[in-house]
A = this chain, B = another copy of it.
């Protein structure tokens, strides 16, 4: 019973996600956001609250995309297949033409000023959520007897997350899709799995 909104909220969120992804949280200014979203400042604040809330709402869309990829990847039959699937998908997603490069949860979490600390914490939380999913999947691998003796599924999950994070950095600094796919394939081939590891145990005890 009042003036209707002159823009689509979801479309505007997608534009905001693109800009945040491309420039990080602080790098995307309100001026740039409103221009990309095709709306005015007051409309943005009336609809989304403030910059931080807008970011979180855009982030929700990003997480749902990534969760869908994890659903596929974690369903692969063995740990090595999971690694290959997830890293290949990551390589493709991070170099999608017309899309921002790298992973929003990595690029956006690099601290610039302190003011964006809550956003950084949120991104860390997101990444830990995904790492937890990998941990659970690798625990299944261990139960299935496919982990070499002494290999810790949590350690492998962290290694995989580390490689994925590194790929995001590589992508944001010019790595091509072909290069990232090669990284993914080499990581998958070297992945420890019981059918190709001979001796070597207790890598997990190396930390002091």
Contacts and interface: CB of A to CB of B under 8 A. Distances in A.
Q: Which bracket fits the contact residues of A? A: 35 or more
Main secondary structure of the interface of A (DSSP, over half): helix
A198 B112 CA distance: 47
A111 interface: yes
Given A110-B107, A166-B164, A166-B169, A158 B182 contact: yes
A181 to B, nearest CB: 4
Contact of A165 (B26, B112, B166, B192): B166
Interface stretch (A33-41, A58-66, A67-75, A172-180): A172-180
A187 B23 CA distance: 31
A178 B152 CA distance: 14
Contacts of A2: none
Interface string A76-114: 000000000000000000000000000000110111111
Interface in A186-203: 186-187, 189-192, 196, 198, 200, 203
A207 B181 contact: yes
Given A23-B111, A27-B111, A196-B198, A166 B162 contact: yes
A181 B162 contact: no
A162 B161 CA distance: 11
A173 B127 contact: yes
Given A158-B179, A179-B158, A109 B172 contact: yes
A155 B112 contact: no
A178 B159 contact: no
A200 B207 contact: no
Given A111-B24, A169-B166, A198-B196, A206 B181 contact: yes
Interface of A: 23-24, 26-27, 29, 106-107, 109-114, 120, 124, 127, 151-152, 155-156, 158-159, 161-170, 172-175, 177-179, 181-187, 189-192, 196, 198, 200, 203-204, 206-208
